Amino acid sequence: MIRDAVVFRSIPLVTSGLAFLPACGDGGNTTGDDDTSGSPTSLTATEESSDDGEETLDPSSSDDASTLDESTSTSTDDTGDTGDPQCGGANTCGAVPPIGWFGPTVYARVLPGDLPPPCPPEVSNPGPTVLEGFNDPGPAVCGCECELSAPLACNSCMETAATQGACTPSYYYGSCPFNNTTVTDDCINVNVLGWVGFTSEEDYYYGGGGAVCEETELTQIPPFAWEATIATCRIPETALACDTGVCIPPAPEGFESQWCIYQQGDIECPAGEYPNKTIFYSDVEDTRACSNCQCGSAASSCTERQLLIFDGQDCAGEPSLIVDPTGVCVAATGGSIAGTPSEAACPVTEAPVAQGSIAPTGAFTFCCTD
């Protein structure tokens, strides 16, 4: 308050201190009467008096500056937070999980080949890692082939003679007689003299009759893969409590926006703030397979082999005569011979069938907000 027209000035002294000395105004009120202009005015050390006695104030202390400060203060308090006042900031008050449930929890959907995000401080408790997106790839695809374990051994013999009476075809176990020609699938250059006889049997001596059929199973298991991995994070045990439960922060970046509670098993969601049910899984059980394949005994074709006779050498062109293995001599001439292939058929007596199935296991029920 200004009294007796005394205004305090601050002037520098030699000692660098501040001395406050009275100064007289040259046109102001000097009578010592109280200021009757209204409410008193306080001056700061930077205030000065003009020659005509009017007060001149530093702009930083003006009423306008005070108004600006108040406006600025009001705008900084308006942060756009829409959370619960008890929780502060953008945090909201959410319901605590019922007995037997865990949470509140957020989860991140992680595609194959990606790494899950770490749990940030506001949701620092890692929850279970579960799996999403089971699609049945279908049963096993089964097939089977039966083949001989070794080529079938046949004792096939040809005898040729210039006269019918001299033609007496025969064979021995393991070889043809010395005056006979062993017939194979390969071409042999030999003169057929005028008459020819042909015999063919399984060569039991060399194991021809014991040829074994072996099975080859053709099994295909259609591959399976989950669509995504679900990484979960819970709020810490020390989270702030509020009237209706617990303070929940905004969902962290990289996580789904809804908050959830969860429990192991496939169960119904409790009534309340978490009505939306989703089932995740922890594993898959795959028992898909094929039953065994079984083959029958080899059906010999040695007795069905035929002798092919060609006019010229090297079995060129078409055969001029085909002789069955009856042992009966027939008239024939030629320059080369060959036998038809001796293959044994291996039948499939029991075809494999698809067995087993694939199904998700370890269900987890997640109940989430909208």
Sheet holding 245-248, edge to edge: 92-94, 245-248, 241-242
> Which residue shows structure tokens 């007496």?
168
Burial environment of residue 257 by CB neighbours within 10 A (0 to 12, 13 to 18, 19 or more): exposed
Q: What is the mean pLDDT of residues 199-209?
A: 68
Residue type, 71: S
User: Can you tell me the distance from the alpha carbon of 68 to that of 62, in angstroms, rounded to the nearest whole number?
Assistant: 10
The model's confidence at residue 256, banded by pLDDT at 50, 70 and 90, is very high
pTM, full prediction: 0.56
Give whole-number Cα distances, 188 to 191, 218, 262, 331, 337, in Å. 10, 39, 82, 19, 5
User: How do residues 328-359 score in pLDDT, each as one tens digit?
Assistant: 999 999 999 999 987 777 889 999 999 999 99
> Which residue shows structure tokens 């169960």?
267
User: How do residues 126-174 score in pLDDT, each as one tens digit?
Assistant: 999 999 999 999 999 999 999 888 777 788 999 999 999 888 887 666 6
User: How do residues 3-26 score in pLDDT, each as one tens digit?
Assistant: 333 333 333 333 333 333 333 334
pLDDT at 87: 87
Q: What is the mean pLDDT of residues 257-276?
A: 95
Beta strands 102-110 and 260-264 are antiparallel
Average pLDDT, whole number, for the chain?
Answer: 78
Q: 29-35: long-range contacts at Cβ-Cβ below 8 A with a sequence spacing of 24 or more? A: 29/5, 29/53, 30/4, 30/5, 32/3, 32/4, 32/5, 34/3, 35/1, 35/2, 35/3
Element at 74 (helix H, strand E): helix 63-77
User: Can you tell me the distance from the alpha carbon of 353 to that of 127, in angstroms, rounded to the nearest whole number?
Assistant: 42
User: Can you tell me the distance from the alpha carbon of 7 to that of 30, in angstroms, rounded to the nearest whole number?
Assistant: 11
Per DSSP, the three-state class of 314 is coil
Element at 68 (helix H, strand E): helix 63-77
The ranges assigned to domains in the chain are 6-72, 91-370
User: Can you tell me the distance from the alpha carbon of 173 to that of 187, in angstroms, rounded to the nearest whole number?
Assistant: 23
User: How do residues 76-113 score in pLDDT, each as one tens digit?
Assistant: 334 345 567 888 888 999 899 999 999 999 999 999 99
Cβ-Cβ contacts under 8 Å for 61 (sequence gap 6 or more) = 44, 46, 47
